[in-house]
Amino acid sequence: MGKTSFGYLKEGIELYEKRLLHYADYSRTDIPELKKVSALSELQIREKEGDLILDNIRKADHVVLLDERGKLLDSLSWARILENKILYDSRNMVFVIGGAYGFSDKVYKRADGMLSLSKMTFSHQMVRLIFLEQLYRAFTIIKGEPYHHG
């Protein structure tokens, strides 16, 4: 949800998106933030954002929510899970970053899994960069490349 407004984050996101294209058919969909939400409750915002998210997901997609309640993994474990999905599941993987209030119940029900990047909370703008770096790192681990030294 929303766009990345800070130049330094945009640069990092673009860097990792370019790197990812070496490993996978990657694309990003930005869903514009809702307008005129001051009169809406958090639940109403989650529901409206959830509908927009679901409008961008196909029935056959494998959907992973980046969510604080998701599975917390180290980089090596994440790479192994990603590798297994690539090898044994032909569906497109869709990773979803929610808005400030999280996901609607409908989005949680649609999800095939949830992944947490940390026990800490990050802005959705920072999560984009952090996740892309971890996705890139996972591919380099899978390929046995020297990027990951841990």
What pTM, to 2 d.p., does this model score?
Answer: 0.91
Residue 1 lies in a domain: no
Residue 150 lies in a domain: no
Domain count, the chain: 1
User: Which position has the token pair 């529901």?
Assistant: 47
Question: Which residues form the domain of 79?
Answer: 7-142
CATH label of the domain that carries residue 85: 3.40.1280.10
Mean pLDDT over each residue of the chain, to the nearest integer: 93
How far apart are alpha carbons 133 and 99 in whole angstroms? 20
Q: Of 1, 118, 3, nearest to 71 (Cα)?
A: 118
Range in 17-21, 72-76, 97-101, 112-116 with the lowest mean pLDDT = 97-101
Per residue in 57-89, is it b (16+ CB within 10 Å) or e — as a string? beeeebbbbbbeeeeebeeeebbebbeebeeee
Residue 91 lies in a domain: yes
